[in-house]
Structure 1
Amino acid sequence: MSVQIDAVILAGGMARRMGGNDKGLVLLNGQPMIQHVIDKIAPQVGNITINANRHQQQYAELGYDVISDQDSGYLGPLAGMVTALTQTHADLLMVVPCDCPMLPKELVSRMHQELLANDAELAVASDGKREQPVVLLMKPSLHQSMKAFLDDGQRKIDMWYAQHRYVVTSFEDQPNAFVNVNTPEQKQQLANTLAK
């Protein structure tokens, strides 16, 4: 039995540390940052959806469906995840942020194996030191629990998934896999790394 795994790329934030620029659309080595993420994740999943709360037209031009948070007000990554879980028809949903251009090529397969091996409801990625709460593989049945958590005024993803059967998938063999870009300085550092 084949398992359908889709992905949502979260690009719905305010990006205050990037001077308010839409992080997913900031150019990194000549391409929008989100394009680097798409290039990494597209071969690993069935369908990709982009969660964006502004510049939806520009994101749509990348060729993927764009969804906006059902709850307005920039409530953080959980709001984008809730919306994506509501709309997916896949067996599992992979969540990644738009500002992690060095994601592992075997991200989905390794997280899926751990999820199955541990009979977990979701898997969270780790760089070997820290969990990466916006890099998740999860069952869409978690939607109601996540929505209730968000409706209760909660925002911290790790507090939400601690309520469920979860497994941590370590990518300590690729310590830079989840390097993300929050400032123009970090963007330049990463551009230099990618150019090597």
Structure 2
Amino acid sequence: MKQPYGVILAGGLATRMGGGDKGMLTLGGQTLLSRVIDRLAPQVAGLALNANGDPSRFAQFEMPVIADSIEGFAGPLAGVLAGLDWVAAQGGETLVTAAADTPFFPCDLVPQLLLKGEGMAHPLVLAATPDPKRGTARHPTFGLWPVALRDDLRAALKGGLRKVVLWTEKHDGREALFPDEDAFFNVNTPQDLTRAETML
């Protein structure tokens, strides 16, 4: 399998942070987005950012900015679809996504997702961590997605599907389990940002 391309998902509305781009918040003197780029870029063949609105606000990062093709903030799957279309244009076969507000995700994210996807006709894998209540918690913004299923995803989104897991389960999606419960800690509120400072 060719090395996947990466897309950072930053298309959300950040309502719990009072709006704006969560990825542009600073943590330890660096933006959350630049921390995510530093972790993901070495693991992928090329990197783009999924964000809606004026792309020039991300000019400092010098990477392609791709908007959702499905109208009305359809959630992470719309960003995944935009990413898959971009990867297809690059001649790639798979996409790995990461969220712009999750600065501590594993530096072996891509190898672990690829390992779990081995032997699948269309490798589709979500990252997961141990969860004391549910056994495991899936992290739907962190996944390996095959370009081959992009038209199926487009049809599902146009049909109103929004839940990531409903779509991945339909295609026998797997989970790659990462042992650290806090690996995918994301910054949703001002309190989370304070906690992230402590974790740093």
Q: Which residue of 2 aligns with 1:130?
A: 137
Is 1:179 the counterpart of 2:185? The answer is yes
Question: Cα offset for 1:165?
Answer: 2.3
Query: For 2:168 and 2:114, how far apart are their aligned partners in 1?
Result: 16
* Contact kept? 1:23, 1:98, Cα under 8 Å: yes
Paired positions, count: 192
How many Å apart are 1:137 and its aligned residue?
Answer: 0.5
Residues 1:54 and 1:32: Cα distance change in structure 2 (over 3 Å): farther
Residue 141 of structure 2 corresponds to residue 139 of structure 1:
no
Q: Name the structure 1 match of 2:157.
A: 150
Percent of aligned pairs sharing the same letter: 34
In the alignment, which residue of structure 1 is the partner of 2:59?
A: 60
Alignment of 1:36-75 (within 5 A): 36-75=35-74
Letter in 2 for 1:134: T
TM-score scaled by structure 2?
0.91
**In structure 1, what is the equivalent of residue 173 of structure 2?**
166
Alpha-carbon separation, structure 1, partners of 2:122 and 2:92: 17
Q: Which residue of 1 aligns with 2:133?
A: none
Structure 1 length-normalised TM: 0.93
**SS state of the match for residue 21, structure 1?**
coil
Deviations 1:131-153 (A, max 9, x none): 11111102111101111111011
Contact 1:51–1:66 (Cα < 8 Å) also in 2: yes
The Cα offsets for residues 113-161 of structure 1, whole Å up to 9 and x where unpaired, read as 1100555530110012201111110211110111111101110010111
* 1:24 CA displacement: 1.1
Q: What secondary structure does 1:130 align onto?
A: strand
Which deviates more, 114-123 or 6-15? Answer: 114-123
Q: What's the offset of the Cα at 1:55?
A: 4.6
Structure 2 gap ranges (5+): 131-135
Query: Which blocks of at least 5 consecutive residues in structure 1 are unaligned?
Result: none
Tell me by how many angstroms 1:72 deviates: 2.6
Aligned-CA RMSD value: 1.4
| 1:45-65 deviation line (CA, Å, top 9, x unaligned) | 110010011352122320111
Contact preservation (8 Å) 1:120, 1:166: no
Q: Residues 98-122 of structure 1: CA distance to partner in whole angstroms, max 9, x if unpaired?
A: 1110010111001101100555530
Deviation at 1:81? 1.0
Does 1:20 find its partner at 2:19?
Answer: yes
